[in-house]
Structure 1
Amino acid sequence: MKSSRGYVAWLAVSGIVCVAITIFAASAYVTLDMGEARPPLRGAVHYGLLVAHIFTGSVAVLAGVSQFWPGLRGRHPQMHRVMGRVYFAAVLPSSLLGLVCAQLAVVGLPSSGPLTVLSVLWFVTAVQGLRTARRRQFGAHRIWMIRGFALTAAAVTGRLWALLLGSLMPEADGLLVFATANWLSFVVNLLVAEWWVQSRGYTRTLPSVALRPSISSRSAQSSASVA
């Protein structure tokens, strides 16, 4: 399907924003200086897990952006597959690391709650995306990739929500702003992703019957072969 110029422009702007914010967020951890870490830490092990989570998550964002570029699947299918493998190789460990880091959060449930839910959903959507790709269920694969990247992009939208809420409520408690931004970062993304899936009619293109032949169809095939 040919993409409109507006759609391509929207993807380009969104991609640039994702890449820019991801690089900025990861830059604080390039020097491996614990003093530069943004969340409070429990120690060196916590910091190491956080760094691993951030860098694998950054790879996931960068690889995921490429998967939505128009024409990549059609003109460069091999590159699409390679970047897809990179994406899954980054998301799966990053989501598990995020789950561990969420349990180590110093401030407790306001921080660990949304990050735990996000990490679990992120892992599940990645597994589903990988499973449907391997089964060559490309319609379902597209839907799971849209949902999965909506969760991947929470690393970007969470910072945007924090800036917006902080500017609108400068006197609000910082922990409240942080927790609210974390929830909004992926809940809103998922709602937008689901709206996108439904509005584009992706669910209508899925097969209405199972891929495996039914008992009656197998019997018919057997009868035909005997005949």
Structure 2
Amino acid sequence: MKTSWGYVAWLAVSGVVCVATTIFAASAYVTLDMGMARPDLHGPVHYGLLVAHIFTGTVAILAGVSQFWPGLRAQHPRVHRVLGRVYFGGVLPSSLLGVVCAQLSLNGLAASAPLTVLSALWFVSAVYGLRTARQRKFGEHRIWMIRGFALTSAAVTGRLWGLLLGGLLPDEKGIVVFATANWLSFVVNLLVAEWWIQSRGYARTLPSAALRPSISSRSAQSSASVA
């Protein structure tokens, strides 16, 4: 499929926004000063888990952005594979840590529920993305990578939703804005991802490959016809 300049420009802009927002968000934790943490914490252990979640998630975002750049897979397949491993190496621990940190939230179910659902879906998408790559089912792998990165980038869109809702609802309670932004961060991303998968025709290519008869089945059919 030919890559348009509009697609390249959209990738470039969205990539810059993802990288810049991620680096800004992670910068508060570089000094390991617990006083700079944004959420309320139980103590040092909670902070350590949060830092590990944030930095492995940062690795996932930075590696994941590169995977969508046109020509990387075709022209530099080794780089694509290495960065893919880095991506999964970030997502798998970060998603599990995300579930743990969500359960430790001091803001109740309103805050923990969307983060728990997001982290669980993020882990599942990574497992399927890794499995389909190892099985060389590259059509399915592409679809799961799109879904997976939609969940990965929820860390970015959640902050953007928070800023938008905070501006539109200045008198609303902070926890309401926070919870709503967290739900929107990945639900909207997944809807956009599914629209993209369908509009680009990625899903339509799977049935034909799945229905293609194998050599053994063709041999069996030939034997049957001769008999």
Q: TM-score, normalised by structure 2?
A: 0.94
Tell me the distance in 1 between the aligned counterparts of 2:212 and 2:110: 45
Tell me the distance in 2 between the aligned counterparts of 1:52 and 1:211: 44
Q: Which residue does 1:146 correspond to in 2?
A: 146
Q: Which residue does 2:181 correspond to in 1?
A: 181
Q: Measure how far apart 1:207 and its partner are.
A: 3.4
Tell me the distance in 2 between the aligned counterparts of 1:210 and 1:181: 39
Residue 161 of structure 2 aligns with an amino acid whose one-letter code is W
- Superposed CA deviations along residues 71-112 of structure 1, whole A, max 9, x for unmatched, are 101110100000000000110000000000000001110110
Residue 44 of structure 1 aligns with an amino acid whose one-letter code is P
Q: Which residue does 1:43 correspond to in 2?
A: 43
Structure 1's 4 and 34: CA in aligned 2 closer, same or farther, altered over 3 A? same
State the identity %.
Answer: 81
Q: Which residue does 1:87 correspond to in 2?
A: 87
Q: Measure how far apart 1:183 and its partner are.
A: 0.2
- Superposed CA deviations along residues 170-211 of structure 1, whole A, max 9, x for unmatched, are 111100000000000000000000000001110011134648
Q: What stretches of structure 1 of length at least 5 have no aligned partner?
A: none
Q: Which residue does 2:192 correspond to in 1?
A: 192
Q: Which residue does 1:53 correspond to in 2?
A: 53
Q: Measure how far apart 1:168 and its partner are.
A: 0.5
Matched, 1:66 2:79: no
Aligned residues: 224
Tell me the distance in 2 between the aligned counterparts of 1:209 and 1:6: 30
Q: Measure how far apart 1:2 and its partner are.
A: 2.4
Q: Which residue does 2:155 correspond to in 1?
A: 155
- Superposed CA deviations along residues 28-70 of structure 1, whole A, max 9, x for unmatched, are 0000000000000011100000000000000000000000000
Q: Which residue does 1:122 correspond to in 2?
A: 122
Tell me the distance in 1 between the aligned counterparts of 2:4 and 2:33: 45
Tell me the distance in 1 between the aligned counterparts of 2:157 and 2:118: 13
Q: TM-score, normalised by structure 1?
A: 0.94
Tell me the distance in 2 between the aligned counterparts of 1:163 and 1:133: 37
Tell me the distance in 2 between the aligned counterparts of 1:192 and 1:136: 26
Residue 165 of structure 1 aligns with an amino acid whose one-letter code is L
Structure 1's 212 and 103: CA in aligned 2 closer, same or farther, altered over 3 A? farther
Tell me the distance in 1 between the aligned counterparts of 2:138 and 2:124: 17
Aligned partner of residue 39 in structure 1, secondary structure:
coil
Structure 1's 211 and 56: CA in aligned 2 closer, same or farther, altered over 3 A? farther
Q: Which residue does 1:20 correspond to in 2?
A: 20
Q: Which residue does 2:202 correspond to in 1?
A: 202
RMSD between superposed Cα atoms in Å: 2.0
Structure 1's 131 and 106: CA in aligned 2 closer, same or farther, altered over 3 A? same
Residue 65 of structure 2 aligns with an amino acid whose one-letter code is V
Q: Measure how far apart 1:218 and its partner are.
A: 7.8
Q: What stretches of structure 2 of length at least 5 have no aligned partner?
A: none
Matched, 1:78 2:91: no
Structure 1's 212 and 52: CA in aligned 2 closer, same or farther, altered over 3 A? farther
